Structure 1
Amino acid sequence: MKKLLLPIFVLFFFILESLFVELFSPQLFNSDRIIVPHFLLVVLLFLTVYGGKKQGILYAAIFGLLFDIVYTEVIGIYFFLYPLIAYFVSKTMQLIHNHLVVVSLTSMVGIILLELGVYELNYLLKVTEMAFQTFLQERLYPTLILNLVFTILVSFPLKRQFDKYAEELRNE
Structure 2
Amino acid sequence: MIRIIIPLIAVVLFFLEPVFSLFSPIELGDVRYTLVPRFVIVYLVFIASFYDLRKAVIYGLLFGLLYDMYHIDIIGIYTFLYPLICFLASVIIRQVHRSTLTVMLLSVVMVVLLEMMSFFFASMISLTSIGFDVFLTARLVPTVIANSVFIILFGWIFRNLLYKRVREKQVGM
Task: Report the TM-score range of the alignment, normalised by the length of the smaller protein.
Answer: over 0.9
Within 5 Å, give how 1:40-59 maps onto structure 2: 40-59=40-59
Partner of 2:25: 26
Compared CA separation, residues 102 and 27, structure 1 to 2 (3 A): closer
Partner of 1:142: 142
Q: TM-score, normalised by structure 2?
A: 0.93
C-alpha displacement at 1:26, in angstroms? 2.3
Q: TM-score, normalised by structure 1?
A: 0.93
Which residue identity lines up with residue 104 of structure 1 in the other structure? M
Instruction: Supply the distance in 2 between the matched residues of 1:154 and 1:10 (Cα, whole angstroms).
Output: 13
Residue 120 in 1 paired to residue 96 in 2?
no
Partner of 1:84: 84
Instruction: Supply the distance in 2 between the matched residues of 1:27 and 1:157 (Cα, whole angstroms).
Output: 28
Instruction: Supply the distance in 2 between the matched residues of 1:113 and 1:155 (Cα, whole angstroms).
Output: 19
The size of the alignment, in residue pairs, is 171
Which residue identity lines up with residue 164 of structure 2 in the other structure? K
Instruction: Supply the distance in 2 between the matched residues of 1:25 and 1:138 (Cα, whole angstroms).
Output: 11
Partner of 2:5: 5
Please list every run of at least 4 consecutive aligned residues from structure 1 whose deviation after the TM superposition is greater than 4 angstroms.
27-31
C-alpha displacement at 1:27, in angstroms? 5.1
Query: Which stretch shifts more, 131-140 or 27-36?
Result: 27-36
C-alpha displacement at 1:76, in angstroms? 0.8
Compared CA separation, residues 147 and 75, structure 1 to 2 (3 A): same
Query: Which stretch shifts more, 118-127 or 3-12?
Result: 3-12
Which residue identity lines up with residue 18 of structure 2 in the other structure? S
Partner of 2:70: 70
Residue 101 in 1 paired to residue 88 in 2?
no
Query: Which stretch shifts more, 54-63 or 79-88?
Result: 54-63
- Deviation digits for residues 7-44 of structure 1, max 9, x if unmatched? 2111011111111112x132587861111000111111
Instruction: Supply the distance in 2 between the matched residues of 1:10 and 1:169 (Cα, whole angstroms).
Output: 19
C-alpha displacement at 1:2, in angstroms? 2.9
Instruction: Supply the distance in 2 between the matched residues of 1:89 and 1:165 (Cα, whole angstroms).
Output: 20
Instruction: Supply the distance in 2 between the matched residues of 1:130 and 1:5 (Cα, whole angstroms).
Output: 39
Give unmatched runs, 5+ long, in structure 1: none
Instruction: Supply the distance in 2 between the matched residues of 1:67 and 1:148 (Cα, whole angstroms).
Output: 21
CA-atom RMSD in angstroms: 1.6
Instruction: Supply the distance in 1 between the matched residues of 2:26 and 2:137 (Cα, whole angstroms).
Output: 17
Which residue identity lines up with residue 155 of structure 2 in the other structure? S
Instruction: Supply the distance in 2 between the matched residues of 1:29 and 1:17 (Cα, whole angstroms).
Output: 22
Percent of pairs with identical residues: 33
Instruction: Supply the distance in 1 between the matched residues of 2:54 and 2:14 (Cα, whole angstroms).
Output: 20
